[in-house]
Amino acid sequence: MRSLSIFGATGSVGEQTVDLLRRAGGAEVFRVVALTGGRNIVRLAEMARELRAEVAVSADPSGLAELRERLAGSGVAAAAGPEAIAETADRPADWVMSAIVGAAGLVPGFRALRHGAVLALANKESLVTAGPLLMAEAARHGARILPVDSEHSAIFQALVGEDIGSVERIILTASGGALRDWPLENLAKATVKDALAHPNWAMGQRITIDSASMFNKALEVIETREFFGVSPHQIEVIIHPESLIHSMVGYRDGAIMAHLGAPDMRHSIGYALNWPERSHLPVARLDLAQIATLTFRAPDLARYPALRLARDVMDRRGLAGAAFNAAKEVALDRFLAGQIGFMQMASVVEAVLEATDADLGRENAPMTLEDVLAMDHLARVRAGEAARGRAGAD
């Protein structure tokens, strides 16, 4: 029986993973080692009972009593706290979904690689903050990382049977997010509600806002560089409002391989789950005649400063990804709390990159997981200061 664990099971990607497992036969077909969640104890206990998980772990220690109560008599063990989540990753499983949001997903993914698991990686922050370390760890333990981000799954699929050396460019598609058609001068006044109205994808709250600011695409550009090992100049971003082409690979003979499908994360989650085979997936089939037109436009860097900052991060490399991601997370928190404006998120991140310049390390500077976590901490402090300096300012 195939064994698996889901980190971040109660989130958007986690729920869709559980949906696919249920459709494929659930506990009759899979041995579910561990499910982890955060604050949603009710849902975590429900899914752990349904999938007969060996252990359910919440990131929130204050939820442990309730989790135990809800799992009483089920045979599912309960645990809580960040350390318990990290230890859970030491339990061997054939397939591990890394779908915790944010830098909190880094350590569990790392530890899962150590027992040679196939790591289905939704947590893009892992590659952005510690890409070289993560790829080296996978190689050291003979583990396999499979991308779950729809763009990277698309690129991965467009590369099957091809030589990465013949790739000329990788073209990441972007919906442009909820505010893509707003006049530039109005963006400073955009509210959380405005930024959450994503035109195509139903996702978690944080990634939906990151989509509107294109911080999500900025993370994906860096993720592409780290996962596929291509040069920054080979990575392009194009706005494709229909979100039907999930990304493209351009080869040196001029051919472009595009991956098309409905905007449904169960496609890339299912691809990673079934890899290297393909199985039936419950995703809508495209009616191309009805779609009729696919459109594209170049992104405006004044509207999306995050894309410019991603280039900066790739030039610096070293610990710049960790600083970028942490600063972005704090800036997003402050925007969600109404303390800074939509366009101020980028200025907070830029200020942190500048302030941290001397500490970032360079292209080939050696770094450890501890360095990454220390930079994450430092950048959060600096981003907090930068955000305070901007609160209330225009």
Q: Which residues bind ligand NDP (CB under 6 A)?
A: 8-14, 37-40, 59, 85, 99-101, 104, 122-125, 149, 201, 203-204, 206-207, 265
Structure tokens belonging to residue 105 = 């997903």
Decide whether 85 or 332 has the Cβ nearer to ligand NDP. 85
Min dist CB 322 to ligand NDP, Å, is 15
Nearest to ligand NDP of 33, 351 (CB atom): 33
CB of 166 to ligand NDP, least distance (A): 27
CA distance 35 to 56: 5
Q: Which is nearer to ligand NDP, 240 or 390 (CB)?
A: 240
- Minimum Å gap between C-beta 255 and ligand NDP is 27
| Kind plus residue range of the DSSP H or E element containing 239 | strand 235-239
| Nearer of residues 268 and 347 to ligand NDP, judged by Cβ | 268
CB of 209 to ligand NDP, least distance (A): 11
Distance CA 109, CA 122 (A): 10
> Following DSSP, what letter does each residue of 17-85 receive, concatenated?
HHHHHHHTTGGGTEEEEEEEESS-HHHHHHHHHHHT-SEEEES-GGGHHHHHHHHTTTT-EEEESHHHH
Helices (H), the chain: 12-23, 41-51, 64-71, 82-88, 106-113, 124-141, 150-158, 192-196, 205-213, 215-228, 266-274, 288-291, 305-316, 320-336, 344-355, 369-390
Q: With beta carbons less than 8 A apart as the criterion, state whether 333 and 326 touch.
A: no
Closest CA to 8 of 87, 119, 101: 101
Where do we find the tokens 């994808």?
Answer: 201
Pairwise CA distance, residues 52 & 28, whole Å: 9
Comparison of 123 and 344: residue with beta carbon closer to ligand NDP = 123
For residue 179 the two structure tokens come to 């505010």
Does residue 276 have a cis bond before it (omega within 30 degrees)? yes
CA angle 311, 221, 228 (to 5 degrees): 115
Q: Which H/E stretch holds residue 383?
A: helix 369-390
Nearer residue to ligand NDP within complex by CB, 361 or 384 = 384
Q: How far is the CB of 203 from ligand NDP (least distance, A)?
A: 4
The residue of the chain with the least Cβ separation from ligand NDP equals 11
Residue (46 or 359) nearer to ligand NDP, CB: 46
Give whichever of 98 and 347 is closer to ligand NDP, judged by the CB atom. Answer: 98
Structure tokens at 258: 């595009």
Tokens of 311: 């280039």
Q: Which is nearer to ligand NDP, 168 or 242 (CB)?
A: 242
Q: How far is the CB of 241 from ligand NDP (least distance, A)?
A: 17
